[in-house]
Amino acid sequence: MRMKHFNLVIMEENKQKNIGRRKAIKGLGVGLLTISAGNALLAEPKRTEPGRGNPNLDDPRNKYPRPPFRSQSQPWPGLAGKMEPKPDHGEQSYKGSGRLVGRKALITGGDSGMGRAAAIAYAREGADVAINYLPAEEPDAKEVIDLITAAGRKGIAIPGDIRDESFCNKLVEEAVNKLGGLDILVNNAGRQQANESILDITTEQFDWTMKTNIYAPFWIIKAALPHMKPGSVIIGTASEQAYDPSADLYDYAQTKAATMNYVKSLAKQLGPKGIRVNGVAPGPIWTALQVSGGATQEKLQKFGSDTVFGRPGQPAELASIYVQLACDDGSFATGQIYGSSGGKGQP
């Protein structure tokens, strides 16, 4: 009997130990679950309140003015400062990060449009910049030079008509002397005039467009190449017109196709020398070209309405493309055409 009683006592003690062990394990499990849940709550990203959105995101549909635009016209070559609304070239928005420190750039048509946007961006990325423009564009050009110097960089203004070969040679010479070298060349200046029929284009007008858009880059590149070392870049401004020409831009469109072609040809020629050549093909961009004969008044009022965003682009929206093509971290890109056309065009 004593042995039986002893065994019952032992069994009861074991039973109590097992119950205690199970409670301890259960408690530990609950504790671990609580800790895991707490960590999950800590790790969960902060949710944006409904309807507020991310403050770092801009809806591209509403970022800039949309048509209809008021009817307006200016004599060629037009001034961005007199446009309504004024184009955005990145005057307030472009922030540099030192990507072009020490570089020397020459930009034709640097007073307005993509040339102005590139000039502002280059300066804020650390480059010294010379801009060319027509004397009639002096008010716009002065603003650009002021913005370049405000960025702490050297700004050189070289007015003159690039339809003249001797001036093109002087342009490069002056840029090289005043900048202390040249390693970025942006052939951006262009003439665009809308004509309903080829019969409306005179030989003088045709020659004006060809000299500005095709001959001038040819002369300027020839003058610049002896000064450009490996690592230098040449950038041409083409257009969606090179791929999908409008009926009323017969002469302008073919010059942009020629620009696209010289970029690809010259890239093959100069690549072995360490010089890259690329192009930018904008779509409908709000520039002085449009108000100085580049578009009919009917087209101007609804300009950019056929893009997927329902508005034209602004020069500031292309500035980063010109920077990317100029800086060293884009060193494998040559012979390329970078498009920015709001869902239109082909490059």
Measured distance CA(255)–CA(132) in Å, rounded: 20
Coil, strand or helix: which one is 106?
strand
Measured distance CA(216)–CA(250) in Å, rounded: 19
- CA distances for 293 relative to 76, 219, 251, angstroms: 7, 26, 13
Coil, strand or helix: which one is 184?
strand
Q: Which of 69, 121, 67 is nearest to 92 (CA)?
A: 121
Measured distance CA(134)–CA(203) in Å, rounded: 22
**What's the token pair of residue 282?**
């904008």
Single out the catalytic residue among 133, 250, 252, 322.
252
Three-class SS of 230-256: CCCEEEEECCHHHCCCCCCCHHHHHHH
Measured distance CA(102)–CA(98) in Å, rounded: 9
Q: How far is CA 110 from its chain centroid?
A: 15
DSSP string for 152-167? TS-EEEEE--TTSHHH
Measured distance CA(321)–CA(316) in Å, rounded: 10
Measured distance CA(146)–CA(150) in Å, rounded: 6
Backbone angles phi, psi at 338, to 5 degrees: -95, 115
322 is catalytic: no
Mind telling me the catalytic residues? 252
